Chain A
Amino acid sequence: MTLAAANAALLWAALTTYAVLAGADFGGGVWDLLASGPRAAQQRRAVAEAMGPVWEANHVWLIFLVVGFFTAFPPAFAVLALALYLPLTLALVGIILRGAAFAFRAHGAEAEGASRWGLVFGSASLLAPFFLGAAAADVAAGHVHANGRPAGVFEGWATPEALLIGLLAVSLCAYLAATYLLVETADRPDLQADFRRRALGAGALAGVLAIATLALARSQAPRLFETLTGNGLPLLVLAILNGGVALWTVWRTRPRVARAAVIAQVVLVIWAWPLGQWPYLVPPDLTVAGSAAPSQALQAMLVVTGVGMALLAPSLWYLFHVFKGRLPQA
C-alpha cells in the first residue's frame, strides 16, 4: 500500500468511527425531537444519559477527519471546501447548535429554557447528518470539479441524489441510536419497546431510501450508480443481506446482536463508497495519489496517529468501560 493510500484508509476509518459513534448521537437528537407517548420524558432522559459522557469524545473524530484531510490531501480539501461551501457550512451550524444546546441543557438550564434548548438540540441534530450526507453524495456522484467555481447558491450540490442521501444519513443515524438504546434500556422493558418500534421504523425508512437512491442513481447519476455497482458491489450486496438480518434481530429484540448488525450496516455502506470510486478521491478530477501531500507530510501523519492512538486507545477504552460497561450501576 502506498503512503497516500494508507492515509486515505486512515481517514476513511476515522469517518467510519465518526459515523458509528457520533452518528448515533445525532440520532439521539432525532429521538429527543420525536419523543412521544406516555414515556416521552423517559425517552429523552435515556438519550441524554447515553450521550452525556461520550458525545464530546465521539465528536472529536470529525475534527481528526478534517485535520487529517487537509494534512494529507490539501488540494482535494480546498476543492471540496469551495464547491460544498454551503452544505458544509450548514452542517457546521448544526454541529455548533447541537453541541451547545446539549451542554446548556445538561449543565445549566435546569430551571428555565430547558425545553427551548431541547428543541434546538433536536432540530440541529437533523441538520448535521443531512448536510454531511448530501455533501458526501455530491462527491460520490462526481459533482465536484477541480476547477469549478460555484456560480449560484444551490448550484452544483443541491441535487436530487444529494438530498435523498442526506435523508438516508439522517435515518441511518436514527436507526443506530434507537438500536444502541435497545441495549441501554435493557432493564426497562417498556422503554425498550418504545425504542424497538423506533428502530424498526428508522431501519425500514433507511431501506426504502436506499432503494430509492439506487433507482434514482441508475437514471440520474450514472457515476454514483457505477461507483456502487462497480468495485463496491460486493459490499453493497453484503449490506443488503445484512440489512435484513439487522431488522430481524431488532424485531426479535436481540439488542446486542442488533447493535452489531446495524454498525456493520453503516460500515458496509461507508466502505462501499471508496472501493467503488477507487482510485479517485474526488471523482472525476482528483485521485488519491494525485492529490496527496508530499511524502514527508504523509509519513508525519501516520507517525502522529500512531503515537496519538497509543495514548488515546486506552483512554477511550477506560471511558467506555466506566460508562458503557455491562449493566452500569448508576
Chain B
Amino acid sequence: MNNVTLARATMGTSLGFHIVFAVLGVGLPLLMFVAEGLWLWRRDPGWLELARRWSKAFGILFAVGAVSGTALSFELGLLWPGFMAFSGSIIGLPFSAEGFAFFLEAVFLALYLYGWDRLSPVAHWLTSIPIAVSGAASSLFVVMANAWMNSPAGFHLDAAGKLVSVDPLAAALNPSTATEDPHMLVSAYVVTGFLVAAVYAAGMLRGRTDLHHRRGLALGMAMAAPAIALAGITGDSSARFIYQAQPVKFAAMEGLYQTQRGAPIHLGGIPSDSQHRVLFAIEIPYGLSLLAAFDPNAQVQGLDSYPPDLRPNPVVVHLSFDTMAGLGTLLGLLALGFWILVVRGRRLPLQRRLLWALVVAGPAAAVTMEAGWFVTEFGRQPWIVYGLIRTSQAATSAPALGATFGVFLAIYALLALTSARLLLRLARGARQAGA
C-alpha cells in the first residue's frame, strides 16, 4: 500500500474508533443529569444507583475517548501535513474552541467522578450540566472543521495560490455547518439512547426485569426516540444541501450515472462504472427528484458529467448511504413501535422479540452513524478540501507508515476489547445489584 492509502486507513480507523466513544461522551452526561435529578426530586435511591452506574461506565469511556481524540489531533498533522499547512490557520478557531470545551468537560467530569463524597448532592448534580453542555459543544465545534472540508470558506488566496487572509468565523460557519452540525449532534443522542437501551434489554432477556432495568431501558428509549426523529429531519436537509453544494457526492450516494430530469431512487444495488447504472437495485421512479427538490421533474446531475478522476467511489458511497438511511428508518420504526406499545399498555413492553430487536438496535445505531461518516468522507473524495486540495497531495511522505498503521490497529483492537469487557462486567454488576 502507498502512503496515501495507509494515511487514509490510519485516519479512518482512528476516527471510526473515536466517534463511538465521543458520541457516548455527548449523550451519557445528559442521561446522568436526568437520573441524578430524578433522585434529588423524588429521593428514590434507585435513580441515584442508575446515575452512579453510568458514571462508572463513563469514566472508562471518557478516558478512551480522550486519548483517541488526542491521537486525532496529532494525526491531522502527522498524516496530512500538506492539508494542515494550508488549513490550520483557517479552521483553527473551532479546534481551539473545542479544546476549551474538552477542557471544561474533563474538569467537571473529574469533579463528578471523584466528587460523590466531597460535594453536596446538589453541587454534584450541577457538575453534570457543564459536562453535558461542553460534550455537545465539542462535537459541534469539531464537525465545523469537517464541514469546512466539504464547503471551504472564509479565506482569500493571491494569484499564486498563497493564503493572504482568513476569516475564521466565516470558515467555522461555512455553508455545510448548518446541516452537518445538527445531524451529528442528534445522531450522538440516537447512538447513546439505543446503546443504553440495548444493555438493559439484554439484561431483561436474562430475566432481570426489575425496576433498575426498566428505568434504564425507559431513559435510553426516551433519548433515542426524539433523537432518531430529528436525525431523519436533519439528515433529509443534509442530503438536500448536498444536492445543491456537492452534486457529485449526491450522485454517488444515489448511484445516478446519467444527468436527468425525473431521476429515480435506487434502493440497494451495486453501482457499475462499466455499465453506467446500478445493478440489482429497486427503482422508485421520480423518487430522487422529488426528494432532492420536491419536484418530480427536477434535474439531478449524474456521475457521468464528471471526469472519472473527480468522482468518489460510488459503490462505497451508495451502499453506505443506503445502510445509513435503511437502518435509520428501521430504528425510527422500532422507537415509534416501542412507545406506542408503552402508551397502549401503560407499562414497558417486555415481549422477547421486541427486547431482542432493542438489543440489536444498539450496535445497529452505531453502524448507522459510522455509515453516515462513510458517506461524508468517501463522498468527498478525491478531495481532502473539496475542490481545492486532493487527498493524494496532502498525505505525509514519512517512512514506516505501514508499521505505525499496524501498531494503531493493534492498540485500538486492544482498547475496544478491554473497554467492552469492563463495561459488560459493570452491566453484570448492575444486574446483581438490581436483583
A323 touches B114 (CB 8 A): yes
Interface stretch (choices B162-170, B188-196, B252-260): B162-170
Residue of chain A at shortest CB distance from B103? A60
Residue of chain A at shortest CB distance from B114? A53
Q: A74-B85, A81-B84 are in contact. Are A308 and B119 (CB under 8 A)?
A: no
Asked if B387 is at the interface of the complex by the 8 Å CB criterion, the answer is no
Asked if B77 is at the interface of the complex by the 8 Å CB criterion, the answer is yes
Write the nearest CB–CB distance from A300 to chain B, whole angstroms: 4
B89 touches A100 (CB 8 A): no
Residue of chain A at shortest CB distance from B76? A70
Interface stretch (choices A84-92, A242-250, A264-272): A84-92
A104 touches B88 (CB 8 A): no
Cβ 8 A contact of B163, one of A73, A78, A151, A294: A294
- Residues of B within 8 A of A (CB-CB), count: 71
Q: A293-B166, A304-B93, A308-B103 are in contact. Are A85 and B73 (CB under 8 A)?
A: no
Q: Which of the listed residues B67, B73, B108, B419 has the most CB atoms from chain A within 10 Å of its own CB?
A: B67
Residue of chain B at shortest CB distance from A328? B118
Interface stretch (choices B265-273, B275-283, B365-373, B397-405): B397-405
Residue of chain B at shortest CB distance from A315? B107
A100 touches B64 (CB 8 A): yes
A56 touches B66 (CB 8 A): yes
A312 touches B70 (CB 8 A): no
Cβ 8 A contact of A66, one of B73, B81, B115, B165: B73
Interface string of A130-154 (1 = CB under 8 A from B): 0000000000000000000111110
Docked CA distance A99–B311 (Å)? 40
Q: Which of the listed residues B93, B164, B426 has the most CB atoms from chain A within 10 Å of its own CB?
A: B93
Which residues of B28-79 have CB atoms within 8 Å of chain A's CB atoms? 56, 59-60, 62-64, 66-71, 73-74, 76-78
Asked if B102 is at the interface of the complex by the 8 Å CB criterion, the answer is yes
Q: A77-B88, A316-B107 are in contact. Are A150 and B114 (CB under 8 A)?
A: no
Docked CA distance A52–B116 (Å)? 14
Write the nearest CB–CB distance from B385 to chain A, whole angstroms: 13
- Residues of A within 8 A of B (CB-CB), count: 70
Which residues of the other chain, B, contact A304 by a CB distance below 8 angstroms? Answer: 93, 96-97, 100
Which residues of A93-125 have CB atoms within 8 Å of chain B's CB atoms? 93, 95-100, 102-104, 106-109, 111, 117
Write the nearest CB–CB distance from B131 to chain A, whole angstroms: 11
Asked if B322 is at the interface of the complex by the 8 Å CB criterion, the answer is no
Cβ 8 A contact of A102, one of B63, B163, B415: B63
A308 touches B97 (CB 8 A): yes
A57 touches B63 (CB 8 A): no
B96 touches A77 (CB 8 A): no
Which residues of the other chain, B, contact A295 by a CB distance below 8 angstroms? Answer: 165
Asked if B104 is at the interface of the complex by the 8 Å CB criterion, the answer is yes
B107 touches A152 (CB 8 A): no
Asked if B111 is at the interface of the complex by the 8 Å CB criterion, the answer is yes
Docked CA distance A78–B80 (Å)? 8
Asked if B377 is at the interface of the complex by the 8 Å CB criterion, the answer is no
A56 touches B63 (CB 8 A): yes
A82 touches B59 (CB 8 A): no
Cβ 8 A contact of A56, one of B85, B100, B106: B106
Cβ 8 A contact of A67, one of B62, B92, B163: B92
Q: A78-B81, A296-B167 are in contact. Are A56 and B110 (CB under 8 A)?
A: yes
Docked CA distance A153–B401 (Å)? 10
Q: A107-B60, A305-B96 are in contact. Are A100 and B415 (CB under 8 A)?
A: yes
Write the nearest CB–CB distance from B381 to chain A, whole angstroms: 21
Docked CA distance A72–B91 (Å)? 11
A57 touches B106 (CB 8 A): yes
A296 touches B92 (CB 8 A): no
Docked CA distance A319–B114 (Å)? 10
Chain B residues engaging chain A, CB cutoff 8 angstroms: 56, 59-60, 62-64, 66-71, 73-74, 76-78, 81-82, 84-90, 92-93, 95-100, 102-104, 106-111, 113-115, 118-119, 130, 163-169, 396-400, 404, 407, 411, 415, 418-419, 422-423, 425-426
